[in-house]
C-alpha cells in the first residue's frame, strides 16, 4: 500500500518556568493508506501530544515542536504555512477527540456542526450540508437521522455523541482519521460497537486510522499495526499479531498481563504494572522504564536503549531479550 504519513524523530516539548517537559522525544513511524495503526500506552506517555503535533495543534506557549519531520502525502507539515495546515485539518486529516461533550458546541445543532467542515472546505451550502449530515448520521447507525440532525449535543447519549463526532470526521472524506481515546467513559458494549463501526467505515472509505488508547485489549482485533509508547518514546512496534503473540518489551508484557483474557481461569488475578510513569521533566538516566521493570540490569540504569529489529517489522527498545 502507498505510504500516507511518515513521522521522523518528532520532538515536542512544553516549557515551564523552571523545567522542560519532553512530551514526545524522538518518535518515528509510518502509516500506509487504508491502514489502522494503534498508539498504546498509559496516560501521560505522549500519545495525544503526538497526534496533536501531526495537526500542529500544540498550544504555543507553553508547547513547541522543536524537531523532526511530519510528511503527509510527501509534504512536510512542519514547513508549510498555517493557512495550508488549516486547509488540511478536517479536510484531509480529521480528528475524533476524547471528550465529545467538550468538543461539540452546546449551542449548535448536531446537523449544523457536522455540516460546518463541509461548508468551509468543500464550499457546499448549508442545505446540502444538512442533507449530507443526515446521511452520515445514518452511516454511524443513529436512528431517525432526519430528526436527530436538529437535536443538540445534550440530547444525545455519550455513545451517540461519539458517533456524531465520527460522522463529522467523515464529512470531507479525509484520507486519515485520528481517534483519540474514542471509547473513554463508554460501557464495553458501546466500545465494541464504536470500534467495529470505525473499522468498517475505514474499509468502506479507504481511510487510514490512528487509534489512540491506553488499553491493548481494545485494539487486538482492530489494528493492523501497534506502536507501544512510554515516556514520550516508542518502546515496541510491530503488527498486532507480533505484539500480542510475541511481546518483547517488559512494558508491553505488563500491559498485556493487566488485561483480562476470555480464556483464562476466573480466579486468575490480573497483574498491574507496578509504580507510576516518570515525570517527563525529570526522566531518569538510562531506560525510562527501569524503575518499574522486573528484568532491569545495571546497563538499563545507565544506557537508554534504541529500537532494534526483533524480526521482520517487529522492533523493541530494550537491552534484555525477554520472551
- Give the count of alpha carbons within 13 A of 59, CB side only: 2
Average pLDDT score over residue span 201-229:
88
DSSP letter at 199 equals: H
Q: Transcribe 218-284 into DSSP letters.
A: GGTTT-SEEEEEETTEEEEEEEHHHHHHS--SHHHHHHHHTS--TTS-TTPPP-PPPS-PPPTTSPP
Contact at 8 Å (CB) between 249 and 322? yes
Average pLDDT score over residue span 45-56:
95
List pLDDT tens digits, range 142-181.
Answer: 999 999 999 999 999 888 998 899 999 988 999 999 999 8
What is the model's pLDDT at position 62?
Answer: 93
Rounded to whole angstroms, the Cα distance separating 297 from 294 reads 9
Q: Cell numbers of 300, please?
A: 538499563
41: left (phi over 0), alpha (psi -120 to 50) or beta: left
Contact at 8 Å (CB) between 318 and 235? yes
Average pLDDT score over residue span 215-228:
86
Q: Residue 51: in which H helix or E strand, if any?
A: helix 47-54
Comparing 132 with 217, the larger pLDDT belongs to 132
pLDDT surpasses 80 at 18: yes
Task: List the one residue out of 272, 264, 265, 249 whose CA is nearest residue 323.
Answer: 249
Amino acid at each position: 500500500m502507498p505510504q500516507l504519513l511518515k513521522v521522523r524523530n518528532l520532538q515536542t516539548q512544553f516549557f515551564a518556568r523552571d523545567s522542560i517537559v519532553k512530551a514526545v522525544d524522538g518518535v518515528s513511524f509510518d502509516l500506509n493508506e487504508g491502514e489502522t495503526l494503534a498508539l498504546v500506552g498509559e496516560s501521560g506517555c505522549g500519545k495525544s501530544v503526538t497526534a496533536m503535533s501531526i495537526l500542529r495543534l500544540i498550544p504555543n506557549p507553553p508547547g513547541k515542536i522543536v524537531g523532526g519531520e511530519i510528511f503527509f502525502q510527501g509534504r512536510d507539515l512542519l514547513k508549510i504555512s498555517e493557512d495550508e495546515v488549516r486547509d488540511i485539518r478536517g479536510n484531509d486529516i480529521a480528528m475524533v477527540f476524547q471528550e465529545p461533550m467538550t468538543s461539540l458546541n452546546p449551542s449548535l445543532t448536531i446537523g449544523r456542526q457536522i455540516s460546518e467542515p463541509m461548508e468551509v472546505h468543500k464550499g457546499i451550502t448549508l442545505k446540502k450540508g444538512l442533507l449530507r449530515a443526515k446521511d452520515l448520521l445514518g452511516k454511524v447507525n443513529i436512528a431517525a437521522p432526519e430528526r436527530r440532525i436538529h437535536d443538540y449535543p445534550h440530547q444525545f447519549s455519550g455513545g451517540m455523541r461519539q458517533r456524531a463526532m465520527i460522522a463529522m470526521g467523515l464529512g470531507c472524506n479525509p484520507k486519515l482519521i485520528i481517534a483519540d481515546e474514542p471509547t473513554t467513559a463508554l460501557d464495553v458494549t458501546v466500545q465494541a460497537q464504536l470500534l467495529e463501526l470505525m473499522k468498517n467505515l475505514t474499509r468502506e472509505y479507504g481511510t487510514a486510522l490512528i487509534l489512540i488508547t491506553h488499553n491493548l485489549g481494545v485494539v487486538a482485533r482492530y489494528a493492523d499495526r501497534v506502536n507501544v509508547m512510554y515516556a514520550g518514546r516508542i518502546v515496541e512496534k510491530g503488527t498486532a499479531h507480533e505484539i500480542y503473540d510475541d511481546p518483547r518489551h517488559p512494558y508491553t508484557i505488563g500491559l498485556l498481563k493487566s488485561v483480562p483474557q476470555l480464556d483464562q481461569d476466573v480466579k486468575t488475578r490480573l497483574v498491574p504494572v507496578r509504580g507510576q510513569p516518570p515525570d517527563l521533566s525529570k526522566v531518569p538516566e538510562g531506560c525510562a522504564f527501569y524503575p518499574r521493570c522486573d528484568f532491569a540490569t545495571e546497563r538499563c540504569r545507565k544506557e537508554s536503549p534504541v529500537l532494534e529489529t526483533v524480526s521482520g517489522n517487529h522492533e523493541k527498545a530494550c537491552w534484555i531479550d525477554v520472551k
